[in-house]
Structure 1
Amino acid sequence: MDQEARTFDRSLQGRVALVTGAGSRADGVGNGRATALLLARDGARVLLLDSVAEWAQATQEMIAREGGQAQLQVCDVSRDADCREAVEQAVRTWGRIDILVNNVGIAGPAGTAVDLDLQDWDMALRVNVTSMMLMARHCIPHMAAQRRGAIVNIASVAGLIGGHPSLLYPTSKGAVVNMTRAMAAHHGAQGIRVNCVAPGMVHTPMVYARGMSDAIRETRRKRSFLQTEGSGWDVGHAVRYLASDESGWVTGAVLPVDAGATAGRHSY
């Protein structure tokens, strides 16, 4: 049977995107900054959300130098009031919401169930998981009203495989993976696509700002089939694809961006 060919313009002209964690805590380009820059390059107007104004401002200046449109807003995504105000600000400014990128995440407390700090556990879950629900909670009604929207959640390969030394981080990222699938089922009939990117051992400001020896960096690099190191740009390009019409028939997907680290063991 003949099927009508479907082609898609990668342009995001006229779209409005919210990116959480849009700054970088050190010089360089992290996942949120790369995503914001790439969305703006394709024509989206981007609201840059971060808890530290200076971090988001640097991203805004980079977008402005390239001729893109972006505004920044200080936002603690663990607080419902901040999330609601961020969405309302985007609607007041640009009249719509098309794309939500839930990028914020922290390492959280170290330790196992036996010895981790309970207060830090609660806070980290709120930042890594609850914040994504809160942002979606306020964006989805606007997306549903226009019968179109794209949400991209950032998880981690730590949410797909075991072996992490701490309990909190893989637990929270695993929750993001299945929250993505649940949201996709809940809102697909409204024209809203919900997908997830699971980065591997990328070398971003969030990673190297904590300090990393050359030996550890080399070990991380060798964990993948490609034996190469990823960057925020690798994650950003995956997000841009999932936010665009090019992925119009993709929802509920979990896309590892990890140079093959989760695909299996090395062959020798």
Structure 2
Amino acid sequence: MSVDFANPQRTAFDLTGKVVVIVGGGQMPGDKIGNGRATALVAARHGAEVIAVDLNMAAAQETVDMVLAEGGTAYAVHADVAEREDCEHIFDVVMQRSGRVDGMVYSVAINPPFDRERNEMSLENFNKGIDVNMLGCFYCNSFAAQCMEKNEGSSTGSIVNFSSIASLKNEVGLNIGIMPYALGKCGLNYITELTAAQYAEVGVRANTLMLGPIDSTLGNHDSQDLFGMAADEVDAAYNEVLRLKMGRASSWETAYAALYLLADESRFMTGQQIRFDGGATLVR
């Protein structure tokens, strides 16, 4: 179905009738909103049926309850994205309950525990980080695209993978603790390009949103844990790397960037790595 962008009555970024899966739709406790939850809420506010997927079912259900309280449509699915079978289960459930998949956002990341003083991490924890940050993305991209290619039209679905500028450069510190995250996001970048190339002919798009210093609960918590920062040091450390001096972005801003990539307005964009970083990766 063609989109009449010239129609002055057209509603921009309208996701009405679309089913959007947010992998990582719950979040850890804290006074900030996370990227996955914010994206779920924004997608629902623009008409999408939202599926919040998380290892923490209570957190996913909390996101669902927030969507329902605003009059939206949503439900939760439990999954451990480190397990291929769980990733497949996500999309089996969605196809059975909703009948289609139009959008998928992979908003999952972990920084496994490590010994900061000795700069050591167990092999089990390292592998777990790679499994969640990279392989889970591969599995979810594959299963989501296989669902999307069944849709009719020239643009059959949109995949948005949340990456990080940690896959490009380091500004605030480097240790073994961040390696499964940074390496996983390097792999995620490549997985996105492979997905875009493989499924372009059937109308499935895949793009990476490469996040910089986002003021989220997880971002603040993990920065303190990884680099030994006090809570009041995190903002100052990240503001030092920003070129645009308006402070760190919120997860709401991440969500609206994702909304563009999910919507028909971005139907001519695929295989791209978009830096959403306040200019942090600009050459000085």
Query: What TM-score, normalized to structure 2?
Result: 0.86
Give the percent of matched residue pairs that are identical in Structure 1 and Structure 2: 29
| 1:181-211 deviations in Å (ceiling 9; x for gaps) | 1211111111000000111111111123455
* Alignment match of 1:151 (pick from 137, 156, 159): 159
Aligned match of 1:120: 125
Aligned match of 2:140: 135
Whether the 8 Å contact between 2:138 and 2:188 is mirrored in structure 1 is no
Structure 1: gaps spanning 5 or more residues: none
Q: Is the deviation greater in 245-254 or in 100-109?
A: 100-109
* Alignment match of 1:165 (pick from 159, 165, 174): 174
Whether the 8 Å contact between 1:87 and 1:139 is mirrored in structure 2 is yes
Aligned match of 2:267: 248
Aligned match of 1:225: 243
| 1:130-183 deviations in Å (ceiling 9; x for gaps) | 101111222222211215010000110101224551322221111111211121
Whether the 8 Å contact between 1:36 and 1:46 is mirrored in structure 2 is yes
Whether the 8 Å contact between 1:234 and 1:257 is mirrored in structure 2 is no
Aligned match of 2:255: 236
Q: Partner of 2:150: helix, strand, or coil? A: helix
Whether the 8 Å contact between 1:12 and 1:44 is mirrored in structure 2 is yes
Letter in structure 2 aligned against 1:214: D
Q: Separation in 1 of the partners of 2:282 and 2:66?
A: 35
Q: Tell me, yes or no, if structure 1 residue 183 matches structure 2 residue 195.
A: yes
Letter in structure 2 aligned against 1:73: V
Q: Tell me, yes or no, if structure 1 residue 89 matches structure 2 residue 93.
A: yes
Q: Separation in 2 of the partners of 1:197 and 1:232?
A: 12
Q: Is the deviation greater in 202-211 or in 174-183?
A: 202-211
Q: Is the deviation greater in 144-153 or in 202-211?
A: 202-211
Q: Partner of 1:186: helix, strand, or coil? A: helix
Aligned match of 2:233: 215
* Alignment match of 2:216 (pick from 185, 193, 204): 204
Q: Separation in 2 of the partners of 1:168 and 1:88?
A: 29
Query: What TM-score, normalized to structure 1?
Result: 0.91
Structure 2: gaps spanning 5 or more residues: 225-229
Aligned match of 2:20: 17
Q: Separation in 2 of the partners of 1:127 and 1:259?
A: 26
Q: Tell me, yes or no, if structure 1 residue 77 matches structure 2 residue 86.
A: no
Q: Partner of 1:145: helix, strand, or coil? A: coil
User: How many angstroms does 1:115 deviate by?
Assistant: 4.1
Q: Tell me, yes or no, if structure 1 residue 42 matches structure 2 residue 46.
A: yes
Task: After TM superposition, list the pairs within 5 Å mapping 1:53-72 onto structure 2.
Answer: 53-72=57-76
Q: Separation in 2 of the partners of 1:257 and 1:117?
A: 32
Aligned CA RMSD, in angstroms, stands at 2.1
Whether the 8 Å contact between 1:26 and 1:209 is mirrored in structure 2 is no
User: How many angstroms does 1:17 deviate by?
Assistant: 0.8
Q: Partner of 2:206: helix, strand, or coil? A: strand
Aligned match of 2:227: none
Whether the 8 Å contact between 1:195 and 1:252 is mirrored in structure 2 is yes
Q: Partner of 1:19: helix, strand, or coil? A: strand
Whether the 8 Å contact between 1:46 and 1:70 is mirrored in structure 2 is yes
